[in-house]
């Protein structure tokens, strides 16, 4: 007997089929029993008649969320019993065979609501149950569709998808790295990538010309609102391009996503307006302005580009750049605008140098950012000298980039979308955790897996690592300070 998912059975009226799923709602009308069966595609009403004694007795024992397999005939429901709110509401199955595949205890949380009334901790602890919630399931399906659409679009534009390493070198790029000890190289560490920035630029040196990746990124940041320690970017890079080229392909992609996947939504202005950083700060007080004409319209999408960013700023920096000195406003790999490239090389007029950075904002959120890159080694080296690094430090951290740029590096530029944020906005969700299958809490904890967690002494010994308690760390710092 052929097996179908629930949504498919509407096309098989009068046929006997097999389906599987979870018992969602169980009820009885007189002697007839009904179970609403649920799978990923939808719901189907199952009918159990008392004249099929064996099946009827099994059905009476079934509890909510039990997993079952049923066989039976798909029949049309009486006209007065049709449920127009469900795609399968005009049909039902008269069951003549049932197998219990798995029983379920009473769930520790309700899954028949949108879940927003529940605390984060219990939802994260039982995330595998939270995923059964219709809203979360639909969010992940739409996330998949956005990614698939982007992949197909970029493929037609001549991009190729390339994976880059998740074990890389720790370099100062703007946030703290997650570090990974190397057992085979004692005392040395990998870092998880904050972004594929350096690898994608090296792919351009390698002549690949158009690259993209749905990339996992890792940043060890302090708890800060709607952030995750690991997140996903739609990352791309192109050779032989200027700002207009990168902005054009991304604008067309965003418009196509909206028109094809969210036809009910309206883009406020096409082409997307462009606002300088200075204008945005003066008019809106932010570099990610919400320029919607009607902020009460949930289906209104106001995209805009922010351009002409200052290359450098000063101030305290907790992420690795020397405190109180110049640091890049975005990342050190950006190129200066053509009229400022001599100033960059001469390390003059630093406060006024503008970069080729372009950010894209949507309804008050930054959803992506990129730039044309420095592809000449002397320009990249100049950036690091401006932020206060000595040549030996520059070459220790970025020597591989400087070396690569000596061998015919093409002009190139790119962009990365915050994919989680974009999906959340499109779905009207309040935070990115609602569109990630297994998110962390705001302070980076995983209540389901109980991570982060301690590791065994044996593992520590193999890695040559000793855990120093917090008091000992403070004493050690104090001792070092006294010696100086």
- Amino acid 475: pLDDT: 60
Low-confidence winner among 52-61, 66-75, 165-174 (lowest mean pLDDT): 165-174
Please check whether residue 170 is in contact with residue 189, taking contact to mean a CB–CB distance below 8 angstroms: yes
Q: How confident is the model at residue 454 (pLDDT cuts 50, 70, 90)?
A: very high
Which pLDDT band holds residue 348 (cuts at 50, 70, 90)? very high
Q: pLDDT tens digit string along 256-308?
A: 999 999 999 999 999 999 999 999 999 999 999 999 999 999 999 999 999 99
Cis status, amide bond into 405, omega within 30 of 0:
no
Confidence of residue 359 (pLDDT cuts 50, 70, 90): very high
- Tell me what pLDDT residue 314 has: 85
297-322 mean pLDDT: 83
The domain 6-102 is placed in CATH, from the list 3.30.420.40, 2.40.50.140, 2.60.40.10, 1.20.1070.10, at: 2.40.50.140
Q: Mean pLDDT over residues 436-448, rounded?
A: 92
Whether the predicted pLDDT of 484 surpasses 70: no
- Check pLDDT > 70 for residue 481: no
pLDDT band at 468 (very low <50, low <70, confident <90, very high): confident
Q: Give the lowest-confidence range in 148-162, 239-253, 304-318, 426-440.
A: 304-318
Residue 75's DSSP bridge partners are: 92
Confidence class for position 207, pLDDT limits 50, 70, 90:
very high
Overall average pLDDT of the 165-184 stretch: 89
Rounded to an integer, what distance in angstroms lies between the CA atom of residue 5 and that of residue 219? 40
Q: Are 21 and 37 in contact (CB under 8 A)?
A: yes
Mean pLDDT of the chain: 93
CA distance 37 to 4: 13
DSSP-assigned beta bridge partners for residue 266: 300
What pLDDT score was predicted for residue 482? 55
* Mean pLDDT for the stretch of residues 189-207: 97
Angle, CA of 306, 431 and 293, to the nearest 5°: 45
> Taking residues 188-206, what's their average pLDDT?
96
Q: DSSP string covering 8-55, please?
A: GGGG-TTSEEEEEEEEEEEEEETTEEEEEEEETTEEEEEEE-TTSHHH
Q: Which of 419, 422, 382 is nearest to 398 (CA)?
A: 382
Which pLDDT value is given to residue 483? 54
The confidence score (pLDDT) of residue 172 equals 76
Question: Is the pLDDT score of 473 beyond 70?
Answer: no
The CATH code belonging to domain 132-435 is: 3.30.930.10
Q: What is the pLDDT of residue 164?
A: 98
Q: H or E segment at 276?
A: strand 274-276
**Other C-beta atoms lying within 10 Å of the C-beta of residue 235:** 25
Q: How far is CA 68 from CA 26, 29, 38, 186, 246, in A?
A: 13, 21, 10, 52, 51
pTM: 0.92
Per-domain residue ranges of the chain:
6-102, 132-435
Fold agreement between 6-102 and 132-435: no
| Range from 137-146, 215-224, 247-256, 432-441 carrying the lowest mean pLDDT | 215-224
């Amino acid at each position: 007997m052929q097996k179908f998912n629930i949504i498919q059975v509407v096309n098989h009226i009068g046929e006997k089929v097999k389906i599987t799923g979870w018992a969602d709602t169980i009820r009885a009308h007189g002697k007839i029993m009904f179970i609403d069966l649920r799978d990923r595609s939808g719901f189907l009403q199952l009918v159990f008649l008392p004249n099929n004694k064996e099946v009827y007795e099994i059905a009476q024992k079934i509890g909510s969320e039990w997993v079952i397999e049923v066989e039976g005939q798909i029949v049309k429901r009486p006209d007065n019993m049709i449920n127009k709110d469900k795609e399968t509401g005009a049909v039902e199955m008269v069951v003549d065979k049932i197998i219990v595949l798995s029983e379920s205890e009473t769930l520790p949380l309700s899954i028949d609501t949108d879940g927003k009334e529940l605390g984060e901790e219990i939802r994260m602890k039982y995330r595998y149950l939270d995923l059964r919630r219709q809203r979360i399931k639909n969010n992940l399906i739409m996330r998949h569709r956005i990614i698939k659409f982007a992949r197909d679009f970029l493929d037609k534009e001549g991009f190729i998808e390339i994976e880059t390493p998740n074990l890389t070198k720790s370099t100062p790029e703007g946030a703290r790295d997650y570090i990974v000890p190397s057992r085979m190289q004692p005392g040395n560490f990998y870092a998880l990538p904050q972004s594929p920035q350096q690898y994608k630029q090296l792919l351009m040196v390698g002549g690949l010309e158009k690259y993209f990746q749905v990339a996992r990124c890792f940043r060890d940041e302090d708890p800060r609102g709607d952030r995750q320690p690991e997140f996903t970017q739609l990352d791309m890079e192109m050779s032989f391009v200027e700002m207009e080229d990168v902005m054009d392909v991304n604008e067309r992609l965003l418009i196509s996503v909206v028109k094809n996947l969210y036809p009910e939504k309206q883009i406020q202005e096409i082409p997307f307006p462009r606002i300088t950083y200075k204008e945005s700060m003066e008019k809106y007080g932010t570099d990610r302005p919400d320029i919607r004409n009607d902020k009460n319209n949930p289906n209104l999408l106001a995209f805009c580009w922010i351009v002409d960013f200052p290359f450098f700023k000063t101030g305290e920096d907790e992420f690795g750049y020397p405190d109180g000195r110049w640091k890049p406003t975005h990342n050190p790999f950006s190129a200066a605008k053509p009229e400022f490239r001599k100033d960059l090389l001469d390390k003059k007029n630093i406060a006024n140098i503008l970069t080729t950075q372009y950010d894209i904002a949507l309804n008050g959120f930054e959803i992506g950012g990129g730039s044309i890159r420095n592809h000449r080694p002397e320009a990249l080296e100049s950036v690091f000298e401006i932020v206060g690094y000595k040549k030996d430090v520059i070459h220790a951290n970025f020597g591989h980039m400087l070396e690569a740029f000596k061998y015919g590096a093409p002009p190139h530029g790119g962009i990365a979308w915050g994919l989680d944020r974009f999906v959340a906005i499109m779905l009207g969700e309040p935070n990115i955790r609602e569109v990630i299958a297994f998110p962390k809490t705001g302070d980076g904890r995983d209540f389901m897996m109980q991570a982060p967690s301690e590791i065994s002494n044996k593992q520590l010994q193999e890695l040559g690592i000793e855990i120093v308690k917090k008091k000992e760390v403070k004493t050690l710092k104090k001792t070092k300070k006294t010696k100086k």
